[in-house]
Amino acid sequence: MEHIIKVDCLKHIYPDKTEVRACGLAFTVNKGERVIILGPNGAGKTTLLNHIIGLLKPVDGQVEVLGMSPYENFNKLRKHMGVVFQNVDEQIIGPKVYDDIAFTARSEGLKKDVVDKLALDIARKLCIEHLLDKIPHYLSGGQKKKVALAGALIMKPDFLILDEPFDSLDAKSKKEIIQILNTVNQDYNTTLIITTHDVNVVPSIADTIYVINSGEIVIKGDAAHVFSQLEVLKDASIDKPILSELFFQLQQSGIEVDIPFSIEEAKDKIIDMINEGQRV
Amino acid sequence: MNISDIDYVAIYGNSKFHNITSSAKVIFTCLVLTSIIISQSLIVQIALLGLLLSLYKVANLSLRIARLAIYPAIFAIIFAVLVSRQGLDYSLYIMLKAVNAALTMILLITTTPYVEVFAVMSKVLPDLLVDVFFMTYRSFFILLDRINSLLKAVKVKGGYHPLRVFLNIRTIAAVLGTLILHALDMSERMYKILELRGYSGKIPIEANMKIHKKDDYFLLSLGLIVLVGVVLQWNIL
Amino acid sequence: MSHIHFPDGIIPLYIWIPAYLVTFGIIFLITKTIEKEKIKKLLPLTGIAAALMLIGMSVPLVIIPVHLSLAVLTGILIGPKLGFVVVFVVGLILASFGHGGITIVGINTLVIGSEVFVGSMLFRLLGKKKKLLGVVFSTVIALVISLALMVSVVGYTAGFENALPHTHLEHSHEHEEHIDHHEDHHEHSGELEESISNINYLFFSGWVALILIFVFGIALETIVTSLIVMFFYKVRPSLIDSAHNFANN
């Protein structure tokens, strides 16, 4: 399968001389894939995203998006991307929610009825049509995230890039955002590239996980593979998801059981164990 | 009472006046302001004050809001009494003119969100001016949040003491420094966002200009009657 | 620093209407001549500078009871053109809740706009080589010019003989001479002389007080502006240079 994004041993130096790298294992993304970049604060996740978006010029190494350098082809590639940064407050430019969601479509010069339809469709998909007439700074954190997401999705981009989308959200909002992202991925085949340090959400949204630690991509693989590399995760100061931790402890107590990555999977395993008469 | 309080009252206020279409309220404000400025009669100014206070009642606005007009009143009194020295009637007339004009503006801005007032004005103002306004409005609320938490932190950490001027100056310098750094980073991020979202030199906005409700027409008629009344009275005198 | 807090109805029509027209004329010229790329680049910073000006005026900072306008700083940060637009927008927002009349916005924009323009252009001229000296000099000159403009407008409206301490002083001298002339015929000349000298003293102190307020205001605004500009140079050297095209030279 052809990779739509390729990053090869990237190096970036900030004006204050801080050096950030993303080396180690190759970073590649396929069309329609859901990719999670996991790592502690300061690991280089956001720097990697900014290079993929084309906001930064690499000092060394190579970044390719759809076969082009994103920094040199920013305006061409911009139209293929939807981006939601960590601080959504700064991202919401429109004076009202509707204006913000419709911002890119209107800036592209689309006709009013087309813009209206696109904005309403995406607002419905994200269940925020009742907010369209509201003024952004009076919305809750979760609502603001959804508005920013709607603004990024209005033109149905090929890939959606999200920097820490679950940061400071309550459990309900997290669940809703995960559900929305998965729906968008299925309905539009949108490629998702998400950075996070929240391990508990990872299994429900990732096809491929990259773990970054101090500028090195140290693990790549699906949830089962990544969360079985306990030593590497520990080095990267990443906790295991609660479910993995629980079943890992069970393994340590001598119970033969695989580690599940979703509540449903865990429930089935526990029922199986009870049925088989094993001591839990 | 500051900008954020006014904005809140305008957005969450619920009254007949709040529900009138924004463009009708902006036109009404222009008509009444013109009347206040061109009228040279104390009686007319008193009548206009009565009208404005009744509209405050209709708009469910508290006296706390009308208090904003005290500031222009004081300046007008200083001007009228100390500088012109032309008697009580004239002083009262000058003061009422200032208070009425301020009350008219405050009535508009506490019943119509800033965003809607500027959306209406965007039909006549240049794009650059409108964009700067909207950016100012968004940045204001983001930075206000930031400065409020900074000031809270200052108080909690004991960086402010009513009588220790030098301590306070040092603290405020630190707060300003932090705020400015944050503002700088924020402006860089916002620039990137504008680029990414395809900003083309105009922040598009939907302005609901259509005057269609019964109350819209009533308010516009009231504004016209006031203006015509003032002009007629002016001509007769 | 200098802006007029006059409410509506005091400044005559033949002053504020032309002031509005000139302001709109300048804004029209700005929109026609400013490069689109520059707007894109500086729009967020412009909004933030305006927001900071508004916050300065709406957050009750009890800590230091002084009112700064930061207009020269705005001019140095974003250049004279966008700086002028910011002054107008901030004036309009302030007037919306009675902080200065809506009819005064044009005059205030011209007065503070002159501060932004002079400060920014002088800084462009002087700040390239000597940064600190450039910012201090341009701030002081800009403030003196805008103050002179403000005093002229207020003086013209209120009548110079009423508004300015200087003319009060001359008046009192005239009174003094007039009364001196009749001194011999007056029973209570000594008392009068004393009261006249008191009046003189009062007017003199009024004049001095006004100058002191102006000097204090100029000094404070200059110190704050210089500190902030030097702080910018320390943390983001390219920011101001790019607003004034210093980097290209």
For residue C54, the model assigns a pLDDT of: 84
CB proximity B28 to A under 8 Å: no
Place B65 in a pLDDT band, splitting at 50, 70 and 90: confident
- Whether B43 has a pLDDT exceeding 80, the answer reads yes
CB proximity B68 to C under 8 Å: yes
List the CATH number of the domain containing C148. Answer: 1.10.1760.20
Sign for the CA dihedral angle at A182, A184, A188, A191 comes to negative
E strands in chain A: 3-13, 19-24, 27-30, 34-38, 60-65, 81-84, 159-163, 191-196, 208-213, 216-221
Of B68, B105, B132, the CB nearest to C86: B132
Q: Tell me which residues of chain A have a pLDDT lower than 70.
A: 1-2, 15-17, 278-280
Cα–Cα distance between A192 and A102 in angstroms, integer?
21
Minimum Cα–Cα distance from B202: chain C residue: C40
- Does one domain contain both B41 and B141? no
For residue C167, the model assigns a pLDDT of: 40
Place C3 in a pLDDT band, splitting at 50, 70 and 90: low
Burial class (CB in 10 A: 0-12, 13-18, 19+), A38: buried
B194/A87 Cβ within 8 A:
no
Q: Which of C17, C29, C32, C45 to mutate to test the interface with B (most CBs of B within 10 A)?
A: C45
CB proximity C68 to B under 8 Å: no
Dump pLDDT digits (tens) for B87-132.
778 888 888 999 999 999 999 999 999 989 999 988 888 889 999 9
A151/B198 Cβ within 8 A:
no
Q: Which amino acid appears at position B72 of this protein?
A: P
For residue B82, the model assigns a pLDDT of: 66
- Does one domain contain both B33 and B146? no
B183/C7 Cβ within 8 A:
no
Dump pLDDT digits (tens) for A9-60.
887 877 666 777 777 778 899 999 999 999 888 788 888 899 999 988 888 8
- Whether B172 has a pLDDT exceeding 80, the answer reads no
Backbone angles phi, psi at C140, to 5 degrees: -60, -50
- Whether C176 has a pLDDT exceeding 70, the answer reads no
- Is B177 within the bounds of a domain? yes
Residues of A in contact with B119 (CB under 8 A): 95
- Whether C161 has a pLDDT exceeding 70, the answer reads no
Backbone angles phi, psi at A154, to 5 degrees: -55, -35
CB–CB of A233/A227 below 8 Å? yes
Neighbours of C14 (CB within 10 A): 8
Residues of C in contact with B1 (CB under 8 A): 97
Left, alpha or beta for A17 (phi > 0: left; psi -120 to 50: alpha)? left
Indicate the average pLDDT of chain B: 85
For residue C191, the model assigns a pLDDT of: 47
CB proximity B94 to C under 8 Å: yes
- Does one domain contain both B115 and B218? yes
3-class state of residue A118 by DSSP:
helix
- Is C96 within the bounds of a domain? yes
- Is C2 within the bounds of a domain? no
Residues of B in contact with C41 (CB under 8 A): 191
For residue C205, the model assigns a pLDDT of: 54
Between A5 and B236, where is the model more confident? Answer: A5
Between B217 and C205, where is the model more confident? Answer: B217
CATH class as words, domain A1-80+157-237: alpha beta
Cα–Cα distance between A167 and A89 in angstroms, integer?
13
- Is C7 within the bounds of a domain? no
Residues of B in contact with C100 (CB under 8 A): 72
Q: How many domains does chain C have?
A: 1
- Does one domain contain both B28 and B144? no
Backbone angles phi, psi at C220, to 5 degrees: -65, -45
- Is B107 within the bounds of a domain? yes
For residue C29, the model assigns a pLDDT of: 94
Q: Which domain range does residue C127 map to?
A: 13-243
Residues of B in contact with A151 (CB under 8 A): 197
Dump pLDDT digits (tens) for B122-148.
888 888 999 999 999 999 988 888 888
- Is B205 within the bounds of a domain? no
CB proximity B52 to C under 8 Å: no
- Whether B159 has a pLDDT exceeding 80, the answer reads no
Minimum Cα–Cα distance from A85: chain B residue: B193
Dump pLDDT digits (tens) for C190-244.
444 454 444 444 444 556 767 777 788 888 888 888 888 888 887 777 777 766 7
- Does one domain contain both B95 and B155? no
- Does one domain contain both B97 and B42? yes
User: How far apart are the CA of C163 and the nearest CA of chain B, in angstroms?
Assistant: 7
Q: How many helices (H) and strands (E) does chain B have?
A: 11, 0
C5/B75 Cβ within 8 A:
yes
Q: How many domains does chain B have?
A: 2
- Does one domain contain both B35 and B152? no
Q: Which amino acid appears at position A172 of this protein?
A: K
- Does one domain contain both B38 and B110? yes
Strand partners, A216: A23, A213
Looking at chain B, the whole-number percentage of residues with pLDDT higher than 70 is 93
CB proximity B89 to A under 8 Å: no
- Is C234 within the bounds of a domain? yes
- Is B203 within the bounds of a domain? no
Dump pLDDT digits (tens) for C22-64.
999 999 999 999 888 888 888 998 999 899 888 776 655 444 4
- Does one domain contain both B178 and B79? no
For residue C245, the model assigns a pLDDT of: 66
Indicate the average pLDDT of chain A: 87
- Does one domain contain both B115 and B165? no
A95/B194 Cβ within 8 A:
no
Between C100 and A221, where is the model more confident? Answer: A221
Between A218 and B172, where is the model more confident? Answer: A218
Cα–Cα distance between C39 and C238 in angstroms, integer?
17
CB proximity C201 to B under 8 Å: no
CB proximity B199 to A under 8 Å: yes
Residues of A in contact with B11 (CB under 8 A): 135, 138
Q: Which domain range does residue B169 map to?
A: 127-196
Delimit the domains of chain A by residue range.
Answer: 1-80+157-237, 90-155, 241-280
Cα–Cα distance between B126 and C238 in angstroms, integer?
30
Minimum Cα–Cα distance from B142: chain A residue: A89
Residues of A in contact with B142 (CB under 8 A): 89-90, 137
Least confident of A84-93, A212-221, B69-78, C153-162: C153-162
For residue C207, the model assigns a pLDDT of: 65
For residue B84, the model assigns a pLDDT of: 59
CB–CB of C127/C93 below 8 Å? no
Structure tokens at A227: 């969360």
For residue B1, the model assigns a pLDDT of: 59
